[in-house]
């Protein structure tokens, strides 16, 4: 596969679509589609070193159990593909950014219980953390069914994904050292919701002013 010479833009889409299709065929083999579907161009990226990014939707049947939706991401970034059955184009781009963030920083999921200590070296109190976070936006809201869904090591910090029910709403709460936020995407596994959240945070961060 030869990378197109120009970055993706409205006048240089077809070479990138061809590049993306070749990438999909390389990874999907006989289950790769003949053509790709709709695309969305994201002209800017918040990640240092990345730039214009093209997100393209396609369908493929990898397991023989029926066709599923996927996204392939190409451009001035690391080429990758994602399961897209439950994602919009905007979410696919955020997922890509969150995935890149984790790969570049070497973010690892923590599964050993002994690693769930809090900053004071005492056991991490997930219910207390969830309550403190919810109180910042809705102090009177009832909170129940609190559990730690996932924990990540981010350069020595701990990012927690907490599953809980606030009133009648089931949510993920981003806790401990994670950027503040909530996610309603409890239909997704916690690690996937975390990557979506991180990508969304990156996209909303203010751009540094140029000299």
Name the pairing type of β-strands 80-83 and 157-166: unpaired
Question: Is there a single domain that holds both residue 112 and residue 186?
Answer: yes
91 plus 121 within the same structural domain = no
The answer to whether the CB of 148 falls within 8 A of the CB of 169 is no
Please give the structure tokens belonging to residue 194.
Answer: 């975390």
Q: Give the pLDDT of residue 64.
A: 81
What is the Cα–Cα distance from 42 to 63, expressed in whole angstroms? Answer: 31
pLDDT of amino acid 113: 52
Q: Do 34 and 54 belong to one domain?
A: yes
pLDDT of residue 112: 59
What's the token pair of residue 112? 């050993």
Domain that holds residue 177: 108-204
Q: How many domains does the chain have?
A: 2
Is 180 part of a structural domain of the chain?
yes
Contacts of 107 (CB under 8 A, 6+ apart): 101, 152, 153, 154, 159
Are 40 and 95 members of one domain?
yes
Q: Residue 170 and residue 163: Cα distance in Å, rounded?
A: 7
Residue that finishes a domain, picked among 83, 103, 123 = 103
DSSP of 87-132: --HHHHHHHHHHHHHHHHHT-EE---GGGGB-TTSSBP-HHHHHHH
Of 103, 122, 142, the one marking the end of a domain is 103
Separation between Cα atoms, residue 205 and residue 202, nearest integer Å: 5
pTM given for the model? 0.90
Are 83 and 118 in a shared domain? no
Do 82 and 117 fall into the same domain? no
Check whether residue 58 and residue 136 sit in a common domain.
no
Which element (helix H / strand E) includes 145?
strand 143-154
The answer to whether 109 and 150 have CB atoms below 8 angstroms apart is: yes
| CA Rg value for the chain | 19
- The number of angstroms, rounded, from the C-alpha of 137 to the middle of its chain's C-alpha atoms is 24
Residue 3 lies in a domain: no
pLDDT tens across the length of the chain (211 residues): 789 999 999 999 999 999 999 999 999 999 999 999 999 999 999 999 999 999 999 999 988 888 999 999 999 999 999 999 899 999 999 999 999 999 999 999 998 554 555 556 678 899 999 999 999 999 989 999 999 999 999 998 999 999 999 999 999 999 999 999 999 999 999 999 999 999 999 999 876 554 3
> Does 50 reside within a domain?
yes
pLDDT of 65: 83
78: exposed, middle or buried (C-beta count within 10 Å: 0-12, 13-18, 19+)?
A: middle
Are the C-beta atoms of residues 97 and 47 closer than 8 Å to each other?
A: yes
Using N-to-C axis directions, what is the helix angle for 190-204 and 89-105, rounded to 10°? 100
Q: Tell me what pLDDT residue 115 has.
A: 52
């Amino acid at each position: 596969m030869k990378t197109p010479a120009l970055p993706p833009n409205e006048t240089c889409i077809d070479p990138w679509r061809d590049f993306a299709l070749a990438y999909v065929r390389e990874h999907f083999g006989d289950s790769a589609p003949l053509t790709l579907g709709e695309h969305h161009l994201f002209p800017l990226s918040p990640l240092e070193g990345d730039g214009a990014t093209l997100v393209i939707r396609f369908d493929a049947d990898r397991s023989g159990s029926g066709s599923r939706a996927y996204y392939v991401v190409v451009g001035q970034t690391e080429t990758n593909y994602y399961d897209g059955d439950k994602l919009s184009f905007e979410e696919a781009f955020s997922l890509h950014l969150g995935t890149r963030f984790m790969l570049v920083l070497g973010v690892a999921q923590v599964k050993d219980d002994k690693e769930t200590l809090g900053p004071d070296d005492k056991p991490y109190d997930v219910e207390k953390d969830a309550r403190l976070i919810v109180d910042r936006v809705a102090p009177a809201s009832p909170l129940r069914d609190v559990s730690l869904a996932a924990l990540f090591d981010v350069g020595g910090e701990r990012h927690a994904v907490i599953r809980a029910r606030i009133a009648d709403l089931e949510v993920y709460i981003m806790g401990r050292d994670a950027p503040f936020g909530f996610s309603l995407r409890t239909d997704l596994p916690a690690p996937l919701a975390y990557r979506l959240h991180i990508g969304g945070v990156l996209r909303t961060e203010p751009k540094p002013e140029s000299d």
